Amino acid sequence: MPNLKKCNAKIRATKVGSGTELIGRVSPRDTLSFGSVSDPTVFLDRDGVINRYPGDRLYVTSLKKFRFLPRAKKAIALLSKAGFRIFVASNQAGVGKGTYSQRTLDAITAKMLKDIEQAGGEITKVYYCTHRKELGCSCRKPKPGLLKKAGREFKVNLKKTYFLGDTMRDVLTAHAVGAKSILILCGKEKLSNQRNWEAKPDFVFKDLLAAAKFLTR
């Protein structure tokens, strides 16, 4: 069990414990243990967590532009081998805007899943919201529609899950269903912008593998 120090106000940009690489714990909302140890579940955002963040207001518009982040496949394999059920929940409004097609998105998803599988990982299901913001749908994060859908389809108690994402939007999505939030710092959000964060993540890690090591410790 790593030595986790509570930190209510500010994230301590230091390593906590040995080998956990935990950067910070902002709000000690709950205990660290899963309620349902037998069926632990995590939700992953895609861009900036699994693959390289394409940049603000930019999208991964082609198969070629989908690049795995270093250590991401390894992280997913680690979670899978530890018995985690893994879902992906991602906004892809570029489809709704016509920036790239549903077919391209499907090809990217197929390639992603194949490569993850080859590395020893398994994603149970990928959920996308492809709607434009203006439509006001219920699945565009920070609304929790994608998580709720997975919850219904796979009988997941969302309160006992973790949502790992690289943006405040992901943190808000987690909190909307009572899930614990893990902010990953290899995409959009930076620790230096912490004073502007509109929500407090439960945990902050430098990348997906650091978070996966923590969850499977």
**Interface with Mg ion (CB under 5 A):** 45, 47-48, 166
Task: Pick what 45 binds: Mg ion, Zn ion, none; C-beta below 5 to 8 Å, kind-dependent.
Answer: Mg ion
Among 76, 129, 171, 210, binds Zn ion (CB under 5 A): 129
Nearest to 209 by CA among 14, 22, 12: 22
Catalytic, 45? Answer yes
Task: Pick what 137 binds: Zn ion, Mg ion, none; C-beta below 5 to 8 Å, kind-dependent.
Answer: Zn ion
| Distance set, CA 128 to CA 95, 96, 97, 213 (Å) | 10, 11, 14, 26
Residue with tokens 């943190």: 171
Helix residue spans in 130-203 (DSSP H): 145-154, 168-176
Residue of this chain nearest to Mg ion (CB atom): 48
Q: Which residues 147-186 are close enough to bind Zn ion by CB under 5 A?
A: none
Site string for Zn ion, 84-103 (x = CB under 5 A): --------------------
Cβ(210)–Cβ(22) under 8 Å?
yes
Cβ(11)–Cβ(23) under 8 Å?
yes
State yes or no: residue 131 binds Zn ion (CB under 5 A).
yes
Task: Pick what 207 binds: Mg ion, Zn ion, none; C-beta below 5 to 8 Å, kind-dependent.
Answer: none
Amino acid at 112: M
Nearer to Mg ion, 34 or 76 (CB): 76
Q: What's the rounded Cα separation, in Å, for the pair 210 and 50?
A: 13
Contacts of 10 (CB under 8 A, 6+ apart): 24, 194
> Least distance (Å) from Mg ion to the CB of residue 75?
15
> Least distance (Å) from Zn ion to the CB of residue 192?
31
> Least distance (Å) from Zn ion to the CB of residue 161?
20
Among candidate residues 45, 166, 170, 202, the one labeled active-site is: 45
Contacts of 90 (CB under 8 A, 6+ apart): 45, 46, 47, 126, 127, 128, 129, 146
Nearer to Mg ion, 88 or 215 (CB): 88
Among candidate residues 39, 47, 56, 170, the one labeled active-site is: 47
Catalytic, 115? Answer no
Q: Which residues form the catalytic set? A: 45, 47
